């Protein structure tokens, strides 16, 4: 019986080249055809190799036959290579920006879909695009180019009150901030909130959005962690400002928050879909995109816009709740998104998808608010429509110190002392958000004089944040 054993050299003679096929042939013949002569085995094996389709249903030989059948690989993804060179990238305030953020933006510019890019003077390293990165692409959207907190925005409410209000009613303002705002990853306000956004049809279009609706209901009117805040302060409007407010000092409410858990879940879900569909070199995989002609691309686009509307609704409820609790008369509201993507038409008539990851839209005449930190003023602005920046400006002062470094080098007592010296009261908060962790807002603004007009300033006085 030993003479009829099949060996590798026997299989080589009948042109068995594949190691998998050789292993299967030896195992099957040894176990299932041990009483057959070597010559019969070799003839059978050669027939399986020459006519594998005839044996695909064979009880014993089907695994071997399948190893010879032509395998048609079904690829549900597309591979892309980065460009060696990149096109138009404008950097504003380059000496203000860490090299890693610039390198990150240059990497994004090498995507085959990228057309133009810009980096704002508050920029620093992030995930996907850097914070402060603006990227225009053709007919695609990059979930990590928008960011996790979809539709994060600033909203400034200017009230018909004079500067003495905060001195006279500071106690009531602090109580209202405690009772009518909520910060943290989970949790919500202690009373029901209503807003028309909760009735939007998009909540019924996908399983994901249907599942997110209860969380959206629960978290409406609340804020996140990190640098999100609600603060009362003083607004100084300049003569001839675009909002037609008389020169003077007003009370303002400035809020910074986004789309809460809903936006983060949408971002993570569609980032994974993008990475599954769009294969890039490993170091660029976070920049995977969704084609807007595809079903996932359309789903994300509608979900992103819904999350943006939800972020606005959260600010609406913050303003409504606080103004009602304190009996405030509102003169005007200045607000807009960052962490979003827009369809925009260039001066040349080309339609592009413009991602602004931590950057403020600054089309000609478009209002905005660019905050500094807890002690330095924010700037009320209107855009100049500068095409070099893709009609964008910074969304704040920008971090110069990581959160971990701030925790290591700044104490609670030193933060408290600094704020007291500037007459600023802080509810919650942590050293991570110390003014020392941020760039100088005046220097940032000097680097974008060609991007925005300054219409006024906002000085923080009573600040509410999440306590880390």
Give, in degrees to the nearest 5, the angle at Cα 193 between 190 and 197. Answer: 145
From the number of C-beta atoms within 10 Å of its C-beta (0-12, 13-18, 19+), residue 349 rates as exposed
Q: What is the CA radius of gyration of the chain?
A: 30
At residue 178, the pLDDT reads 95
Question: What distances in angstroms separate CA 122 from CA 118, 185, 395, 442, one per listed residue?
Answer: 12, 25, 7, 11
Residue 382 token pair: 């209107």
Residue-range domain boundaries for the chain: 2-68, 88-465
At residue 190, the pLDDT reads 85
Q: What is the DSSP string of 30-99?
A: HHH-TTS-HHHHHHHHHHHHH-GGGGTT-TTTHHHHHHHSPP-----SEE----SS--EEEESSGGGS-H
Question: Using an 8 Å Cβ cutoff, are 339 and 147 in contact?
Answer: yes
pTM of the model: 0.83
At residue 70, the pLDDT reads 64
Q: What CATH class is the domain 88-465? A: alpha beta
> Is residue 7 helix, strand or coil?
coil
Question: Using an 8 Å Cβ cutoff, are 447 and 93 in contact?
Answer: yes
At residue 1, the pLDDT reads 47
The span from the CA of 361 to the CA of 284, in Å, is: 26
At residue 186, the pLDDT reads 81
User: How many Cα atoms within 13 Å fall on the side-chain side of residue 249?
Assistant: 9
The span from the CA of 139 to the CA of 341, in Å, is: 11
Residue whose structure tokens are 């691309």: 297
- Within 8 A by CB and 6+ apart from 186, the residues are 261
SS3 content of the chain, % helix, strand, coil (to 5): 40, 25, 35
Could you report the average pLDDT of every consecutive run of 10 residues in the chain (468 residues)? 80 88 90 87 91 86 84 65 86 94 95 96 92 97 96 97 95 96 87 94 96 96 93 97 96 96 96 94 94 96 98 97 97 95 91 97 97 96 97 95 91 94 94 94 97 98 91
What region does 178 belong to: left with phi over 0, alpha with psi -120 to 50, or beta?
Answer: alpha
């Amino acid at each position: 019986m030993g003479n009829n054993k099949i060996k590798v050299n026997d299989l080589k003679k009948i042109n068995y080249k594949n190691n998998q096929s050789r292993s299967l042939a030896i195992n099957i013949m040894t176990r299932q055809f041990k009483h057959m002569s070597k010559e019969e085995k070799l003839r059978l094996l050669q027939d399986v190799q020459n006519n594998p389709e005839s044996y695909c249903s064979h009880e014993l030989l089907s695994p071997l036959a399948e190893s010879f059948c032509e395998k048609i690989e079904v690829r549900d993804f597309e591979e892309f290579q980065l460009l060696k060179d990149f096109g138009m990238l404008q950097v504003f305030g380059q000496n203000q920006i860490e090299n890693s953020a610039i390198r990150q933006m240059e990497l994004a510019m090498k995507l085959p879909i990228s057309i133009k890019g810009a980096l704002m003077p508050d920029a620093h390293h992030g995930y996907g695009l850097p914070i402060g990165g603006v990227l225009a692409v053709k007919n695609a959207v990059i979930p990590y180019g928008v960011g996790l907190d979809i539709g994060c925005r600033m909203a400034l409410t200017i009230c018909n009150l004079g500067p003495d209000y905060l001195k006279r009613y500071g106690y009531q303002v602090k109580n209202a901030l405690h009772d009518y705002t909520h910060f943290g990853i989970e949790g919500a306000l202690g009373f029901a909130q209503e807003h028309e956004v909760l009735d939007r049809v998009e909540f019924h279009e996908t399983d994901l959005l249907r599942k997110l609706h209860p969380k959206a209901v629960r978290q409406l009117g609340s804020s996140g962690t990190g640098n999100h805040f609600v603060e009362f302060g003083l607004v100084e409007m300049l003569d001839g400002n675009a909002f037609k407010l008389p020169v003077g000092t007003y009370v303002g409410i400035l809020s910074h928050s986004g789309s809460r858990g809903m936006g983060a879940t949408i971002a993570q879900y569609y980032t994974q879909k993008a990475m599954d569909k769009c294969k890039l070199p490993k170091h660029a995989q976070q920049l995977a995109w969704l084609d807007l002609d595809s079903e996932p691309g359309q789903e994300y686009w509608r979900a992103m816009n819904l999350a943006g509307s939800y972020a606005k609704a959260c600010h609406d409820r913050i303003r409504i709740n606080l103004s009602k609790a304190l009996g405030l008369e509102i003169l005007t509201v200045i607000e807009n998104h960052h962490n979003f993507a827009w369809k925009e038409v260039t001066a040349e008539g080309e339609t592009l998808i413009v991602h602004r990851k931590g950057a403020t839209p600054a089309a000609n005449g478009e209002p905005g608010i660019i905050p500094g930190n807890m002690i330095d003023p924010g700037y009320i602005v209107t855009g100049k429509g500068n095409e070099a920046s893709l009609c964008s400006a910074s969304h704040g002062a920008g971090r110069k110190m990581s959160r971990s470094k701030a925790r290591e080098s700044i104490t609670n007592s030193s933060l408290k002392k600094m704020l007291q010296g500037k007459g600023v009261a802080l509810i919650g908060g942590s050293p991570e958000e110390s003014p020392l962790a941020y760039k100088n807002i005046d220097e940032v603004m000097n680097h974008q004089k060609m991007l925005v007009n300054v219409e006024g300033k906002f000085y923080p006085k009573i600040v509410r944040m999440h306590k880390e």
